[in-house]
Structure 1
Amino acid sequence: MLKSNLVLRSTLLLFFASFWMMNTYGQDAGRKTISLNDQWEFQKENGATEKVNIPHTWNDKDVLDDVASYYRGLGIYKRKLKLDETAKGKAVFLVFNGVAQEAEVLVNGKSAGKHIGSYTHFIVPITQYLNYKDDVVEVRANNRFNEDIPPLTADFTFFGGIYRNVTLLITDPVHFSQKENGSSGIFITTPQVSASTASVQIKCSIDNTSDVAKKVQVLTTIYDAKGNKVANQTVAVNLGRGNMIVVQDLKSIQKPELWSPENPYLYRVVTKIIDAKTKATIDQVSNPLGFRWFKFDSDQGFFLNGKPLKLIGASRHQDYENLGNATPDALQTRDIELLKNMGGNFLRVAHYPQDPLILEACDRLGILASVEIPVVNTITESEAFTANCLNMQTEMIKQNFNHPSIIIWAYMNEILLRPKFTTDKPRQQIYYDHIRELAQKLDDLTRKEDPSRYTLLVNHGAFDIYNRVGLTKIPMIVGWNLYSGWYSGVPADFARFLDRHHKELADKPMLVTEYGADADPRIRSFLPVRFDKSIEYAIQFNQVYLNAMLSRPFVSGGMAWNLADFNSETREETMPHINNKGLLTIGREPKDTYFLYQAYLASKPYLKITSDQWKDRAGIADSASSTCTQPLQVATNLKSVELFLNGKSLGVKDAVDHICQWNVPFVDGKNQLRAVSGDHTDQTDLNFQLQPYRFADQIKFKDVNVLLGSKRFYIDEKEHQLWIPDQPYRAGSWGWIGGEPFKGTNNRITYGSDKNILGTNNDPVYQTQQVGIKQFKFDVPDGEYELSLLFAELVGGETKEALAYNLDNNHKKEVVEQRIFDVAINGAPFMSKLNIATDYGYTTAVKKKTTITVQNGKGIVIDFNAIEGKPVLNAIQLRKIY
């Protein structure tokens, strides 16, 4: 925790230092930028007014509750704007980094500008609306569904609000244009780059908003990382009113320092407008410059600066725990630092352009990147939808044009996942034709706006349909989102898919743009299976995928889905409203999968006891012994590792796919673990609660929390409880008698339910159950005990649309039957004629607690007596009082 705080503090200091320098530097150079993030008043339509600061979203809480959907509508922001006399005669702009998703900006009650799209920034000129006394800015933001604005549907939440920074920009009437689709008005290319020489072209768009012609000079200077001048050029320009394009070519830069992930060397390009008469700087803009060249090859993969480089990294969503997408600057930059520390060299900015800080960090840290617009799952066949897509693509390219980290522009994601007109094939073909035409327009636009980079269209794993519709032919690179072994099939299908692409699309470079398996950080399993949401299954899944990609040169790279868990309001599952495929939690704590990637990708020796995350374990003793044997893993890039438990060696294990595993005999209480390989060590302390094999054994019984119908462990972090898997009754111990695990109502889940359980944050406790149970017995010694029985009716309730991503998720129609039963404890009635659905509601957590006096060596016997249907029990707890 201390280390994380230090990183965050240092990141904040660096940010504020750079922000101060940027502003003062700009103010000395004829322009002034002032943050407008404070002192806003906000209200939803017809709602109460509250004071807020930017970044802000009105959906940070309602997307996490148990009520379906969230507020998608109008939000109104107002703020006073104080400008003194020095602003008169200047050009004044409001710069918005992100407003979701339709925005209208009013100044003193008059509309100054509008913008469509949540994810690109925009600039509004406001000079003509100002009175320089008591100016008021109003922003009307709306995140309503609009069929003409992408995204229409997606597996992420469409947060509303002014959720990125707002800035006031004041310039001279002669300035670098603020009309170039939200860009800086300056576009830098490197027409020629090699290890020996390079050239740079700077294209400047300059506006003169005054009525007076002006003679100016445009001076561009390139500085190296130490501040030394490398090259410069001055062009004399006579500006009339309006716009002028100025192009400068700086050639023969000798022996450029090349930009790469190992050496992200950045030059700085400073472009000035200078008054020809007074020599004063009128306006000035600084941009990063990285010298690199690259190519994608369909057989040999990706090359940077003439050398092969496997692109391995992750995709990123912009939201953060309890903040929605209104994420502070320092936390956004930290995401890229975490990706770099993982050993990643690529970021897929998905599924939309993100805060400018993200690509700035990629430039600085050496992370290659792709960026895409949010055309996800489906389209609308309207001229307005097409126009909005083309405008978003143009804004994305122009606003991010000068980042050396970007090598790919993308424009569609899984667009055939939810095809319309499934019952009308001729009409569906027309729809497919529209999709192909839109893709072609976006690809043509991209190649025209920026011929120096590659284009990418991203598909899901339905190879045949994308090929038939023609979407594999349009982009320069084909991206595949592949989830074999998760949403469909088995993990081994992944490698077969890669080979099929290489055979049938031999001329197309490929990227694996998504792959992953849910890994709920609270769920562990020693018998991991598909869709149990365990960390252990995700480890195995990622090993298979990494091995397949790294062993195939034609696979240019792979992007894990996702860097961190993210919000998806429509999801239910073990952690409702959260997609758990992240290598980090939504609060950016690393999971074991993150450590696995470090082991695969680290350039230096790496050693990590992955269960360091799982600090509190529990388990049943091995027979009458005083230990419980459980597996423990170490992630490493070393050949072998030796593990010590409480100072005693458990032997040396060779790493298999970067994992060493031991069966560790844990003792009750503290267990000190130390992993050693040569000079490299890692150690941690685990606390273990040993459950007696038989209650008559010497191990003292305290309490036990048992999941019925489950083979996974569940960590309740808030109540500091660990739930363990059930077992059939064993004489002298405890367990169930009769029945079988609940098997769900669709084909993809091997056990349990994926429904949102109402009235609890511990959904996994209630999502499994023993169906048809007859008894549960505890052969405990005499004494006082607290017993809790936990129920939830998992069949029935509101029918909801199945996730489109579950490709073989053929929902069976649920057969809802009456379920009525009695519960008795030690022969005494406890719950009579229990009808969970009628009495409490479907998928609702029910917990019934009682105290029991055990005497005469009879233990505890809970009977479940069927009246109609089959009795169920979801979980059980027992605690000894004394």
Structure 2
Amino acid sequence: MRNILYTCLFLFCCFSMTGKVPSKQKIRLTENWEYLKGDLGGIWEAVRPASPGNPETVPVWQKVTLPHCFNAEDAVDPDVNYYQGPGWYKTLLTIDNPYADGRIVLDFEGAGQKTKVYIYTTLVGEHVGGYDEWSVDITEAVNSFMADGQLMKRFKGKIPLSVRCDNSRDLEMIPSDLSDFNLYGGLYRYLNLVYLPKASFELIRLEPVLSADRKEGTVKVKASFYNPEDIRKANVTVAIYDAEHKQIYSQTVQNILPLGNQLLAEARIKNPALWDVDSPVLYTCELTIDAGGQTLATEERFGFRQFEFKEKGPFFLNGRRLLLRGTHRHEDHAGVAQAMTEEMMRTEMQMMKDMGVNFIRLGHYQQSDIILRLCDELGILVWEEEPWCRGGLGGETYKEQARRMLTNMIDQHHNHPSVIIWGLGNENDWPNDFSTFDKGAIRAFMKEQHDLAHRLDDTRMTAIRRCEFCSDIVDVYSPSIWAGWYRGVFTDYKSVSEEEMKKVKHFLHVEWGGDSHARRHSENVFANLKGIESGKGADERDGDASLYGGAARASKDGDWSESYIVRLIDWHLKEQETMPWLTGAAYWPFKDFSTPVRPENPVPYVNQKGVVERDFTPKESYYVFQSYWTTEPMVHIYGHSWPVRWGNKGDRKEILVYSNCEAVELFVNGVSQGIKKRDSQDYPAAGLRWNCVYEEGKNEIRAVAVKGKTKVTDEIVQEYQTAKWGKEAVATLSVVSREGDTVLLEVQLLDKEGVRCLDSKKYIEFEIAGDGLLIQNQGTSTGSRKVQAYNGRACIKVNLNKGKSMVAVKAEGIPTAFMELM
């Protein structure tokens, strides 16, 4: 619920609120912003009169658009730690409030991690926490400023707004800086300007309930009001519309006192259409308040659905068993870090749905309401999580933030039918932020959070991942099972999972998989994994994520190839089809993301476990999921990013095809290799595999798949190299493609005889001089100036800027190579 803070500042009042602002009319403030990295001596430096032409004017601000993140590039800069500290934003607001004596509110959809808001020189609001929504009423501050004619003249009738964000390290703030993701800074979600009448809504809560036979639905409509001027009388109209926007209910409540929480309506709907992952039917509740002749309309969507986790058994949605086919999401993207636009978010969530996802865990914090709306629309069930992640447990300030952020998450996202789980924490057994690590204190606070979640919302479950000594507190528990990556072999997956399931009431496996360096492939994926012990468990333990020391494990000793990961994923998906007690599982994560704790990865500072790269480029594993989880006919030959295979003349090479069709025929160089029937239990590739002889040089491979009356095809071209190579000795540069002023460059490592070194993993570094710019710090296999070679090659894009440049390529022990571009 929004708390109203009344403070006297000079001769006017300032109302500061928490929570999103219910209103149909919001103005996104995306343009005409300036940004300063670092701090100011005080707010006066942001608003003092400009000095045109004065070269001594400091500091220098840069023009930006919102959303904007401090760490758009430095989060994956291979040479620096990402910036953690203060940063400032400023703009000028044009105020045009349609409500006489109405309210003016700034609605923050999220900002990291501590924020202060100023109108001119007056502090009007502040907030701690990078992920929940919050708002600030700036009415009195704006009115006071506008009453000063000289200030209005100086700022040409506009209102100066300044915002200070700060993501400095702070042990008494969640999440922990030990977390395996960046704690970004900036106005990295949308900021809205909202005009409100004197009385408006503060929080709207919809409580839909289905009868046991799902033949009748009831929805209670509750609201609290934002009424700082203490208006004593209002009329509220509640209207409900079905999925075709046909009105099915309407009621006006006359002469209510718009204060506190009130039940406004209770509507009964016969034979309601159900919200389901395959048919996510949404109803709309529109609320209109009329007070003193001023009206405001807002709306919330909701859905009718029932779900149940059977004790030591599967998950049910609307009375039928549903295997949760899940993944995870971090708010992170190439070139912008956390500042993803709505278009980017929509692209990402549609890609997940197209992969067959019906469940997502939002790790490890409350995410944009846009994401929750997309999950509602697409039919994706949600586990959303408060950011109590790693580090132990802090003091009262720490705990109060956790309580507040859990409360805000539940209040703000309660109405989304997609949400079924409120996550209370992640890896809370991970110490080191504090000198003491008290399991008893963590258990006590976990129980407090569990009870709080159920007081706020007793219609959803609570859950945590990887904190075994708290597994009995929450409703749903996920242990750490990384079979075939951090420990054990992936064939241990089913037995370990069943053993863990028996320990708790409700088991759900979130986080599994492994890293893959996009575009790296292998002819022998198990070559370095013979020392890994089976049957010794599959949990992640201290040091398992390290690239050094400890027991043999794929995360350290494997080749990080896509070839290995598709086999690991394939095995897990095959097994999940044969586990009748399984609620579901969620692969970690959907997309590669940046992290401060992995500087030595093949793409520095990137967790590379995603099935797509940080810029949405699918890896081969994306199509493995599609082959198991989707129904739209698809076929995909493994190896689209594998231009050169190798071996001896006459060797038979395995070709994998991933498809959800009944049968596939493979052609190599125009010759049929036979038709194979799909059988999900025939590992690997569900039986769609052929051992074929490649011709030296170019080979054309084509797959033709049939599903019912539908035929789909896929084609790739691969070269076959039989020449053996020695130690890397030479780097050569070539232009792969050119589009406008952008060139894609490729470097290839050769031995002294000029033979391609197709297993080389050397780090390659790019440099440039001249007019052009490297398109770098993207956190992708083709967007980093330092990257480990994939099969002895690496690529990067160059923006030529209509000029001439010299590109240099360095690799240890190899002479620097140069190429002139123009």
TM-score by length of 2: 0.77
Is residue 2:220 matched to residue 1:201?
A: yes
Give the Å deviation of 1:675.
1.3
Report if the CA contact (8 A) 1:618-1:722 is conserved.
Answer: no
Q: Is the 8 A contact 1:672 1:684 kept in 2?
A: no
1:420 shift after superposition: 6.8
Match of 2:524 in 1: 527
1:299–1:553 contact (8 Å) kept in structure 2 = no
**Any stretches of 5+ residues in structure 2 without a counterpart?**
1-20, 40-58, 147-156, 527-553, 730-735, 738-742, 763-780, 794-808
1:288 Cα deviation (Å)? Answer: 0.7
CA deviations 1:745-772 (Å, max 9, x no partner) are xxxxxxxxxxx9xx9623247999xxxx
Q: Which residue of 2 aligns with 1:287?
A: 300
- Is 1:301 the equivalent of 2:294? no
Question: Deviation at 1:141?
Answer: 0.3
Partners of 2:761 and 2:789 within 8 A in 1: no
| Structure 2 counterpart of 1:163, from 181, 185, 188 | 188
Could you tell me how far apart the structure 1 residues matched to 2:614 and 2:571 are? Answer: 25
Secondary structure at the aligned position of 1:448 is classed as helix
Q: How far does residue 121 in structure 1 lie from its aligned partner after superposition?
A: 1.3
Match in the other structure for 2:627: 599
Deviation at 1:618, TM superposition (A): 4.2
CA gap of 1:70–1:603, structure 2 versus 1, over 3 A, is same
Aligned 8 A contact 1:143 1:159 in 2: yes
Q: Which moved more, 1:354-363 or 1:227-236?
A: 227-236
Q: Give a deviation string over 1:276-302, Cα, whole Å, max 9, x none.
A: x8xx66122111111111111123311
Aligned in 2, Cα 1:119/1:546: closer, same or farther, shift over 3 Å? same
Q: CA deviation at 1:50?
A: 0.8
Instruction: Look up the match of 1:371.
Output: 384
Q: Which is further off, 116-125 or 601-610?
A: 601-610
Distance 1:734 1:97 in 2: 54
- Kept in 2: contact 1:69–1:570 (CA 8 A): no
Residue 161 of structure 1: SS of its match in structure 2?
A: coil
Query: Residue type matched to 1:264 in 2?
Result: P
- Deviation string for 1:7-50 (max 9, x for gaps)? xxxxxxxxxxxxxxxxxxxx9x9974212111111112255311
- Range with greater deviation from structure 2 (548-557 or 375-384): 548-557
Deviation string, structure 1 residues 76-117 (Cα, Å, up to 9, x no partner): 111111214756501110011111000011112111111111
What does residue 745 of structure 1 align with?
A: none
AA aligned to 2:279 is N
Does 1:848 pair with 2:815? yes
Quote the offset at 1:550 in angstroms: 2.9
2:568 matched to 1:549?
A: no
- Counterpart for residue 172 of structure 1: 197
Structure 1 residues 285, 670: closer, same or farther in 2, change over 3 A? Answer: same
- Structure of higher CA gyration radius: 1
Amino acid at match of 1:501: E
CA distance in 2, matches of 1:233, 1:501: 51
Residues 705/34 of structure 1: CA separation in 2 closer, same or farther (3 Å cut): farther
Counterpart mapping for 1:495-574 below 5 A: 495-505=494-504, 508-529=505-526, 530=554, 531-571=558-598, 572-574=600-602
Percent of residue pairs bearing the same amino acid type:
28
Return closer, same or farther for 1:722/1:654 CA change in 2, 3 Å cut-off. Answer: farther
Question: 1:100-154, CA deviations, whole angstroms, 9 ceiling, x for partnerless residues?
Answer: 0000111121111111111111111111111344421111100001111111121
Q: Contact 1:270–1:287 at 8 Å: present in 2 too?
A: yes
Q: In the alignment, what sits opposite 2:660?
A: 637
2:490 partner SS: coil
Please say if residues 98 and 119 of structure 1, whose CA atoms lie closer than 8 Å, have aligned partners that are also in contact. Answer: yes
Partner of 2:174: 150
CA distance in 1, matches of 2:261, 2:395: 34
Shift of 1:733: 11
Q: Return the letter of the residue paired with 2:577.
A: L
The amino acid that maps onto 2:497 is L
Match of 1:666 in 2: 694
Partner AA of 1:399 in structure 2: Q
SS, match of residue 378 in structure 1 = coil
Report if aligned partners of 1:669, 1:687 keep a CA contact under 8 Å in 2: no
Distance 1:31 1:519, change over 3 A: closer
Give 1:484's aligned residue: 483
With over 3 angstroms needed to count, the CA separation of the structure-2 counterparts of 1:721 and 1:212, relative to structure 1, is closer
Is residue 31–residue 172 contact of structure 1 (8 Å, CA) maintained in 2?
A: no
| Deviations 1:244-269 (CA, angstroms, capped at 9, x unpaired) | 32203424310000110111111111
Please show how residues 391-406 of structure 1 align to structure 2 within 5 Å.
391-406=404-419
Partners of 1:30 and 1:371 lie apart in 2 by 24
Q: Find the counterpart in structure 1 of residue 252 from structure 2.
A: 234
> Cα offset for 1:229?
1.3
Matches within 5 A, 1:377-396: 377-396=390-409
Partner of 1:188: 206
| 1:37–1:166 contact (8 Å) kept in structure 2 | yes
Q: How does 1:319-468 map to 2 (within 5 A)?
A: 319-418=332-431, 428=437, 431-459=438-466, 466-467=467-468
What are the within-5 Å matches in structure 2 for residues 769-788 of structure 1? none
Instruction: Report if aligned partners of 1:599, 1:606 keep a CA contact under 8 Å in 2.
Output: yes
Contact 1:199–1:249 at 8 Å: present in 2 too?
no
Matched residue, 2:85: 73
Q: For 1:671 and 1:339, how far apart are their aligned partners in 2?
A: 32
Whole-angstrom CA distance in 2 between matches of 1:81 and 1:635: 54
The answer to whether the 8 A contact 1:297-1:509 is kept is yes
CA shift for structure 1 position 849? 6.5
* Separation of aligned partners in 2, 1:53 and 1:734: 48
How far 1:398 sits from its partner (Å)?
A: 0.8
Retained in 1: the 8 A contact 2:649–2:696?
no
Counting matched residue pairs gives 680
Residue in structure 2 matched with residue 263 of structure 1 by the alignment: 279
Q: Flag the 1:419–1:58 CA change in 2: closer, same or farther, 3 A.
A: closer
Whole-angstrom distance in 2 between the partners of 1:646 and 1:419 = 58
Letter in 1 for 2:193: L
Q: 1:170 is aligned with what amino acid?
A: Y
Alpha-carbon distance in 2 for matches of 1:271, 1:575: 50
Structure 2 equivalent of residue 42 of structure 1? 35
- Indicate the residue corresponding to 1:110 in structure 2: 122
Mapped to 2, the partners of 1:85 and 1:735 lie a distance apart of 67
* Deviation sequence 1:384-415 (CA, Å, 0-9, x none): 00000010101111111110111110011011
Whole-angstrom CA distance in 2 between matches of 1:204 and 1:229: 20
CA contact (8 A) 2:627 2:658 kept: yes
TM-score, scaled relative to structure 1:
0.72
If asked which structure has higher relative contact order (CA below 8 Å, sep 6+), I would say: 2
1:347–1:283: structure 2 CA closer, same or farther, 3 Å change rule? same
How far, CA to CA, are the matches of 1:310 and 1:356 in structure 2? Answer: 25
Where does structure 1 lack aligned partners over 5 or more consecutive residues? 1-26, 178-184, 460-465, 695-703, 709-714, 743-755, 769-789, 793-844, 852-882
**After superposition, what is the alpha-carbon deviation per residue over 1:583-626, rounded to whole angstroms, capped at 9, x for unaligned?**
11111111111101111111244322232343x22435506xxx
1:125 to 100, 112, 137: 137
* RMSD of aligned alpha carbons: 3.3
SS in 1 for 2:513: coil
Judged with a 3 Å threshold, the aligned counterparts in structure 2 of structure 1 residues 146 and 676 are, in CA distance, closer, same or farther, namely same
After superposition, residues 5-16 of structure 1 pair within 5 angstroms as none
**2:392 and 2:430 in contact (8 A); partners too:** no
- C-alpha distance 359-791 of structure 1, shift in aligned 2 (>3 A): closer
1:213 match: 232
Q: Shift of the alpha carbon at 1:721?
A: 5.0
Q: 1:409-445: per-residue Cα shift (whole Å, max 9, x none)? A: 00110111346789xxxx54xx111211121111111
